[in-house]
Every structure is written in C-alpha cells, then in structure tokens.
Amino acid sequence: MSARKLAMIVFRALQLGFIALVGAHIVLGFGYPLWWDFLPLVLAYVLITVVNRWGGGAPDAPRCAREPVEVDPPVTGRWSALNSPADRTPSHGVHAYGQTFAIDLVAEPEPGARPGFRALWPPMRRNRDFPAFGAPLHAVADGTVVRTDDGQRDHFSRGSLPALLYLMLVEGSVREMAGVRRILGNHVVLDLGDGTYALYAHVRRGSFAVREGDRVRAGQVLARCGNSGNSSEPHVHFQLMDGPDPDTARGVPFTWRGVGVPRGGEFFEVAEPADHPAHRGC
C-alpha cells in the first residue's frame, strides 16, 4: 500500500472519529470543552493538505509542471465549461483525487435549454430536464479500460439554494467519508499509455458500453452522462491523472484537440465522430 493511499484511509478515519466524538460528547457529556472534539477533523485536513501539496510537490507547481497531453474532447455537440483549469488550479479547489486539472461540462444545445439555478423553487429537478443527461461520453484517445464502477443511482439535481447547501454541508461530507467512489459516482478510467489515465465521473447508471480490459478507439462511446455521486446536476467531470486510482493519482494537464481548454462559462461545439462501428456504444 502506498503512502498516499494510507494517508487517505487515515484521513477518512479521522473524519469518522470526529463525528463519533461529537456524538458521544453530546450524549455522554464529557468533562472537557466541545471544541476539543474538532481535533481529529483539524488533523485530517492538515494531513491531506501536506500529502496533496507537499508530498512530491503540487502538480501545478512550476517545478512539477508537465506539458499538457493533447486528446480529443470527451463529448460532442454544444457544451460549456465549469470549474475549468483555464481559470485556476486546482480547478476544484483541491489537489485530492487527481483533480488538479479537472473540468466540468454542461450541455446546452440551444440557448436556455439548460434549467437555471433557482433560489428556492423548485428545490430539485428531474434529470431528464437537463440536456446533458444521457449524452454519450467518447474515448478521448485509443486506450484500455482499467476501471469501471456502476450501480449508483442518478439522484435529483441540486438546483436551488437549500438543495445546494445540503449537497455541500451534508451530502458532500458524508460522501467524502465514504470514499472516492461515492464522490465520483459511477465512473470509468482509461489507460491512455505513457503513464496517463483519463477519468469520466458522474456517469449514468446502467449506461456502460465497455468493461474492464476492453480496448477502445478514440471516439468510441464508453457510457452516458449522468448525475451520480457528488453532483449538483447532470454533467461531465473529466480529468487526466498519472495513475488508475484517484485516491493516489496526481493530476495531469490536458488540452482538447480543436478546442483547447475552455474557460468557465465558455461555450464550445464539437462535431459528431465518424459513423464507424468502433465509435458506437449501446
């Protein structure tokens, strides 16, 4: 077991210890101040910060920087970017789970086709209201499927302030303590060779068109966009990393052929791949 994997296990154990201490303190009334119960939580985040930022250097640090890997876009049609590494790194606020250079994509084939955020009502929406739901996810290069994880449900969107707060403060914390697969939801990892792996997260349950060990061609449909895991709405979470396990991998920068790296809020359009049997999924 690698040091990074062990650190992630200890990180989650400390989080669970914090919850247990607070609960026991409330029930049993320990004779010391409640704030002492937060010590495991503080230690957990100190540990993960040290491991992710100074354990060999942050992936976006100048001395650790590597050239972006050019691959095809993972989607076709009209999309826009959120949480883009073109705006900042780490793009999602943390280096954990190999997502230093990760990007989120939402589909909007026509202006206004994607439901907007609401302050209060409706608190949630059905996934079919979002054009991204069910959109095909394409292999960004030739490679081998090394990891698939299916079976987690596609939950309702968190498209209002109360629902988003629930996701951030309650659901997200529980998922993080449960492990990386609960954060990513259904996901697939491709080995692209030369120590580069592509991860697609929040995949639609039951939509996988490939299995572990399959060889795939660039443009081939792997699965379909969903809303599983730690997700506020149906969208594509894509990243490159240097290993198959997001718990221990470090982020790798990318650029999409013909697109580059879109900034947050920037729309881009990708043509459908050639109609070839190798490009078809289910």
Cα–Cα dist 180/229, whole Å? 9
Whole-model pTM: value is: 0.83
CB 282 within 8 A of CB 89: no
Cα–Cα dist 18/162, whole Å? 25
Q: Does domain 66-279 have CATH number 2.70.70.10?
A: yes
Ordered per-residue pLDDT tens for the chain, 282 residues: 777 778 778 888 888 888 888 888 888 888 788 878 888 888 888 887 777 665 556 676 666 678 999 999 999 999 999 999 999 999 998 888 899 999 999 999 888 777 777 777 777 678 898 899 999 999 999 999 999 999 999 988 877 787 778 667 777 777 777 788 889 999 999 999 999 999 999 999 999 999 999 999 999 999 999 999 888 889 999 999 999 999 889 999 999 999 999 999 999 999 987 654 444 444
Q: Where are the domains of the chain?
A: 3-54, 66-279
